[in-house]
Amino acid sequence: MINICFPEFEEIFKGSRIYEETALNFIKTFHHDYIVKEKRIDTLYNNLYKTNSRYDYYYKRLANKIKEISLNSYPGVDKDHSDVKNLSDMAGILQENIKTINELKDKMIETAKQSPYFDIINLFYGVGEVLTTELLGELGDITSFDNHKQLIAFCGLDPTIIQSGKSINVHGTISKRGNKYASWILFNISQMVVKLGHQCPNHPVYNYYLTKKAEGKHYDEILTACSIKILRMLYTMCKNNTTFKIN
C-alpha cells in the first residue's frame, strides 16, 4: 500500500524503522503524497516531534526532506482512492498490535520475575529483561538438569557424533535436535554480548569471541561456541546462586 500511496516512505523510514511508532503515527496521518504537499513543514514536524521529542533538530530536517520528496512523488492512486484510507487503517492496526505485544511482554516479565533465577540471568552482562524472560520460558528451572551437558543437549547445541568404521569424531556440527527456540535466544544473547563487548573489555565471553575470531573461525561457529559458554556460565551461577562479576 505504501508503494501505491507514497513509495518514498520506504526511503525515509528504511527497513524495520517503518514499524516504529514515529513512522506509523506519521503514515497514519499523512498517508498520501498529496496530503503531505498541502501541509506546512511545521505541521509535519509537530507530528514527528510529538511521538519522540528527544530529537528536535533531526525531526526538523526529516520534515523538510519528506516535504521535498513529496513534490517529486508519483503515487499509483489519487488521494481519494480506497487504498489510501486502507493504508491509514493498517498503520493504526499495527500500532494496536504493537501495543498489545508490549503489554504481553510486560506480563511475561512480571511472571518471570517470580523465578529465583531471574535476577541471576538478568544481571549477566548483555542480557536484558526480555531475553531473560524468554530464556526462562524455554528452560524453566535451569537447575533441574543434572549437569551442563544435559542443558546444552536440551538446547540442541551439543556436537554430533560422526562415526566411520573405527573412527569416531565427537566434534562434528551441532545436533540441532533440542529446543530450537532456546538456541535462538542464546544466539541473540551472544550477539548482544559481542555487540556491547567493547564497553566491557574484560567480559570472558567477549574475549572468547575475539580469540575464536583470531583463529579464523566462521561467525556462526563463533556464536555457537559463545552460546555454549554462556549456557555453562548461567548454569553454574544458578546452581551456586551467584551473580555475574567481571574480574
Residues 125 and 222 in one domain: yes
Domain residue limits at 62: 2-109
Q: How sure is the predictor about 55, in pLDDT bands with cuts at 50, 70 and 90?
A: confident
Q: How sure is the predictor about 52, in pLDDT bands with cuts at 50, 70 and 90?
A: confident
Residues 122 and 39 in one domain: no
Is residue 246 domain-resident?
no
Is residue 245 domain-resident?
no
Q: Which of 63, 90, 109 is the last residue of a domain?
A: 109
Give residue-wise pLDDT tens across range 19-38: 999 999 999 999 999 999 99
Is residue 134 domain-resident?
yes
Provide the pLDDT for residue 167. 39
Give residue-wise pLDDT tens across range 116-133: 999 999 998 888 999 999
Residues 48 and 145 in one domain: no
Q: Which residues, in sequence order, are CB contacts of 49 under 8 Å at separation 6+? A: 56, 59
Decide if pLDDT at 236 tops 90: yes
**Percent of the chain topping pLDDT 90:** 56
Is residue 56 domain-resident?
yes
Q: Kindly tell me the number of DSSP H helices and DSSP E strands found in the chain.
A: 13, 2
Q: Which of 62, 80, 109 is the last residue of a domain?
A: 109
Domain count, the chain: 2
Residues 175 and 201 in one domain: yes
Mean pLDDT for 171-198 is: 80
Is residue 169 domain-resident?
yes
Residues 118 and 196 in one domain: yes
What is the SS3 assignment for 108? helix
Residues 150 and 219 in one domain: yes
Decide if pLDDT at 46 tops 60: yes
Q: What is the pTM of this model?
A: 0.73
Residues 31 and 105 in one domain: yes
Residues 93 and 127 in one domain: no
Is residue 231 domain-resident?
yes
CB 167 within 8 A of CB 158: no
Q: Which of 86, 109, 132 is the last residue of a domain?
A: 109
The radius of gyration computed from the CA coordinates of the chain, to the nearest angstrom, equals 24
Provide the pLDDT for residue 162. 37
Decide if pLDDT at 43 tops 70: yes
Mean pLDDT for 66-77 is: 90
Q: Output 174 or 27, whichever has higher pLDDT.
A: 27
The CA-atom distances, in angstroms, between 97 and each of 19, 30, 47, 189, 220 are 11, 20, 21, 25, 32
Decide if pLDDT at 171 tops 60: no
The three cell numbers locating residue 92 = 493504526
Residues 124 and 218 in one domain: yes
Between CA 11 and CA 8 the distance in angstroms is 5
Q: How sure is the predictor about 72, in pLDDT bands with cuts at 50, 70 and 90?
A: confident
The CA-atom distances, in angstroms, between 211 and each of 134, 150, 152, 215, 245 are 29, 26, 22, 6, 20
Give residue-wise pLDDT tens across range 130-159: 999 999 999 999 999 999 889 999 988 876
Residues 11 and 58 in one domain: yes
Q: Which helix (H) or strand (E) holds 111?
A: helix 82-112
The three cell numbers locating residue 30 = 499523512
For the chain, give the mean pLDDT. Answer: 87
Is residue 71 domain-resident?
yes
Residues 7 and 97 in one domain: yes
Decide if pLDDT at 168 tops 70: no
Is residue 141 domain-resident?
yes
Residues 90 and 136 in one domain: no
